[in-house]
Structure 1
């Protein structure tokens, strides 16, 4: 059964590296894109938009992979199962964000914006509900998850108020919390394949 931990952890880690790599590649190819002033979603528009979309899709696969591995780790407990459900909802939401990036930057409460706001709510909800259960993998993951959630709740709501000339950099900084959390938990799950968990 422990091989499933290593596979799921590897999928989560791969999703993190993929979304970072596609952002860097997209910036390099998209000459008009300024990563400081332009948001991640703006990078997904145009000729090379599929690169960023692919990265987001693979990040979503990473969340789904993590949820699967954590289910094999523990298959009972209402709060735990709810947290895994939220993890899967995040995966679905990220895929929908990738597929509706053409709406990014348009005025009004677009589909894209609704999906982004949904992610902004689901992510801290996941971290608070799953944190206690993650102690089974590594004790520090409980405090780690809650601290990341607090940082998210402090900084993410400020994004709409950041000047346009800096909102790209700020969004990437805030979004890095998602990648850091997923990568850390996935790595610890991967390592659990060789432990007594």
Structure 2
């Protein structure tokens, strides 16, 4: 006997969005931001002779205490990939949303590689220096994620679209400036860029958390 409409509806319900999964991934995203911020703060005090205004986060990720910032970077990487999973689970757009999902995955992998590579463009002649290329790629994927996810996020609420577009514009304008700054202030500027990236992550985390909350209420 062919399946009835009731059976089809039941099957659709079984594969519907899972609030528990969305909530867990949202909390992972928040944890990733907190872990990275706290790891940088701890390293600022622990690493000797470190100037948080002049020295970059990358400087904290090399040397004896590199594991402190690496933990934060790996956590932030997991947060980004977790958001990509959530965005794939709740597909809110067309091709641009799919591009945003891929951008989040690539963003997360780049952050992971920056932490794992332990090469920070310090003129080390051993091996192939790829840190600069990773940073350039990270800058591009951050911008792509903001703009690609904006239209679909408006289906949840127009404010998410506004936040993502505004974040993308701020990023596109401010990120390239970093490469032209004098080395005595680029550390604090880089931390400001990190805060901008947190806006993307936390906005998406809030979107999926609210969606999970609404699904549970329904």
Q: What is the TM-score normalised by the length of structure 2? A: 0.85
The 1-side partners of 2:162 and 2:205 are apart by: 16
Query: Equivalences for 1:90-105 in 2 at 5 Å?
Result: 90-105=107-122
Query: Is 2:32 the counterpart of 1:15?
Result: yes
1:163 equivalent in structure 2: 182
Q: Which has the larger radius of gyration?
A: 2
Q: 2:92·2:152 contact (CA, 8 Å) conserved in 1?
A: no
The 1-side partners of 2:172 and 2:92 are apart by: 29
Moved over 3 A (4+): none
The Cα offsets for residues 102-139 of structure 1, whole Å up to 9 and x where unpaired, read as 33333799301110010011110111111111123332
SS of the equivalent of 1:195 reads: helix
Task: Quote the offset at 1:180 in angstroms.
Answer: 2.0
SS of the equivalent of 2:154 reads: helix
Aligned residues: 197
SS of the equivalent of 1:104 reads: coil
Q: 2:119·2:130 contact (CA, 8 Å) conserved in 1?
A: no
Return 66-75 or 152-161, whichever deviates more.
66-75
Task: Quote the offset at 1:83 in angstroms.
Answer: 1.3
Q: Point out where structure 1 has 5 or more consecutive residues left out of the alignment.
A: none
Task: Quote the offset at 1:76 in angstroms.
Answer: 6.8
2:172 equivalent in structure 1: 153
Q: 1:26 aligns with which of 43, 46, 50?
A: 43
Q: Point out where structure 2 has 5 or more consecutive residues left out of the alignment.
A: 1-17
Structure with more contact order per residue of length (Cα contacts < 8 Å, sep ≥ 6): 1
The 1-side partners of 2:49 and 2:98 are apart by: 44
Q: 1:42·1:105 contact (CA, 8 Å) conserved in 2?
A: no
Return 140-149 or 97-106, whichever deviates more.
97-106
C-alpha RMSD of matched pairs (Å): 1.9
